[in-house]
Structure 1
Amino acid sequence: MRSLILLVPLLTALAACGQSPSRYASPPVASGERISIGLSQLEIREVTLPAYAQSEEIWHETEEGGLESNTDVLWADTPARGVTMELTQHLAALSSARVAAEPWPFEELPQARLVVRLQDMVARKDGRFHLAGQYYVVRLSAGSDRSGTFDISAPIAPEGGAAAVAAARAAAVRDLARLIADRGF
């Protein structure tokens, strides 16, 4: 019995150390006014991310310019899937096209495929969430392929913590979808 009494505080202390991390989803943001993309069906490949951003951890830039994360503060979804789904939803809302992430779920094939490669996806020390990289629109039917670069940022609410970072990411991904809809088709 005495050993059980000694074990209870130890188990309580261990349980406190093993608390689940907090997860943050990018909140929904309005896509804005419609933009014609001249397609009726668009497939979006899963977004590729830099090595550091592939983990579920939310990364931020330090005062020294390094990148850090905290294993107790995570994205609610894997970052590649989350950003891909956000782009898909915004491009569907912005256009009248049928938009879906790969693998293409419909019988009739898409007219084009969107590939997005991020080289930067981080909360910077300047108080903004940054997305930078390239996009490629590959026509699977008549038309010319297009590509472009982007460097987008959205403000992070001061003192807002991880939830503010998630909200800034949502705004940046929406702005990326608008840029691609406007320039990529």
Structure 2
Amino acid sequence: MPKRLLALLVLSISALAACGGPPPQRVAIPKADIADKQRISYRTVELREVSLPSYAAAEEIYIADESGLLNSREGLLWADDPSRAITLEISRHLAQVTGAQVASEPWPFEERAQATVEIRVEDILAQSDGTFRLAGQYFVSTETGRDRARLFDLSVPIDGMDTVAGIAQARGQAVRNLVVEIARSGLR
């Protein structure tokens, strides 16, 4: 009797595993340096966690169709929590572009940062026209009271619209373009 029960259990588990399909694949954003350099007015910059719309905060990769409906790519997920990944990516790129000491919140240093950047993303997705759109608003608050609020609406062409690698590359480029915009207009 125990052998039959064990055999039945093994068959049941095998059947359930077969129904599940292949595990999802995780997509990482390719790392790239930014050649642009921009002098800013601050030695230290704190970056608050980037606020994303609910569809972009999820692990699924979404694409807008011709009618504007968002569709996820089955079996494909971002490699990291999107909000965390974008926050760290922007922090790294801001440090590269500006040469400033940049860190995401919570601020890890004893002395307060001279400037704080907050980014609220409204749209971040691949469009049916073969572009990747990143739009929203950023805010810079400083010790000197030179606070700023700016809108951004960036589009980057996607190489190979049907490839996830093309979408990931375009997303990374859009974020790098945003960093240069913040350094030039927000932190000067």
Q: TM-score, normalised by structure 1?
A: 0.91
Q: 1:166 aligns with which of 151, 165, 168?
A: 168
Separation (CA, whole Å) in 2 of partners of 1:124 and 1:10: 43
Separation (CA, whole Å) in 2 of partners of 1:19 and 1:152: 35
Q: RMSD of the alignment, in Å? A: 1.9
Residue 3 of structure 1 deviates from its aligned partner by 7.7
C-alpha change, 1:35 and 1:138, in structure 2 (3 Å) is same
Question: Partner amino acid for 1:153?
Answer: S
Separation (CA, whole Å) in 1 of partners of 2:92 and 2:74: 28
2:25 matched to which residue of 1? Answer: 22
Instruction: Tell me the secondary structure at the aligned position of residue 135 of structure 1.
Output: strand
1:83-102 alignment runs, 5 A limit? 83-102=86-105
2:78 matched to which residue of 1? Answer: 75
Unaligned runs of 5+ in 1: none
Question: Partner amino acid for 1:80?
Answer: S
Separation (CA, whole Å) in 2 of partners of 1:169 and 1:77: 14
* Alpha-carbon contact 2:36-2:180 (below 8 Å) kept: no
Instruction: Tell me the secondary structure at the aligned position of residue 77 of structure 1.
Output: coil
Unaligned runs of 5+ in 2: none
Question: Partner amino acid for 1:144?
Answer: R
Q: Comparing 45-54 with 156-165, which one deviates more in the overlay?
A: 156-165
Residue 70 of structure 1 deviates from its aligned partner by 3.4
2:157 matched to which residue of 1? Answer: 155
Q: Comparing 142-151 with 114-123, which one deviates more in the overlay?
A: 142-151
Separation (CA, whole Å) in 2 of partners of 1:108 and 1:5: 64
Instruction: Tell me the secondary structure at the aligned position of residue 73 of structure 1.
Output: strand
Residue 12 of structure 1 deviates from its aligned partner by 3.7
The alignment status of 1:113 with 2:116, answered yes or no, reads yes
1:137-148 alignment runs, 5 A limit? 137-139=140-142, 141-148=143-150
Residue 54 of structure 1 deviates from its aligned partner by 1.3
Separation (CA, whole Å) in 1 of partners of 2:163 and 2:9: 36
C-alpha change, 1:14 and 1:63, in structure 2 (3 Å) is farther
Instruction: Tell me the secondary structure at the aligned position of residue 70 of structure 1.
Output: strand
C-alpha change, 1:164 and 1:13, in structure 2 (3 Å) is farther
2:135 matched to which residue of 1? Answer: 132
Instruction: Tell me the secondary structure at the aligned position of residue 29 of structure 1.
Output: coil
The alignment status of 1:38 with 2:63, answered yes or no, reads no
C-alpha change, 1:52 and 1:159, in structure 2 (3 Å) is closer
Q: Comparing 63-72 with 9-18, which one deviates more in the overlay?
A: 9-18
List, as ranges, runs of 4+ consecutive aligned residues in structure 1 with deviation greater than 6 Å.
1-7
C-alpha change, 1:19 and 1:129, in structure 2 (3 Å) is same
Q: TM-score, normalised by structure 2?
A: 0.89
Separation (CA, whole Å) in 2 of partners of 1:13 and 1:29: 43
Q: 2:64 aligns with which of 53, 61, 74?
A: 61
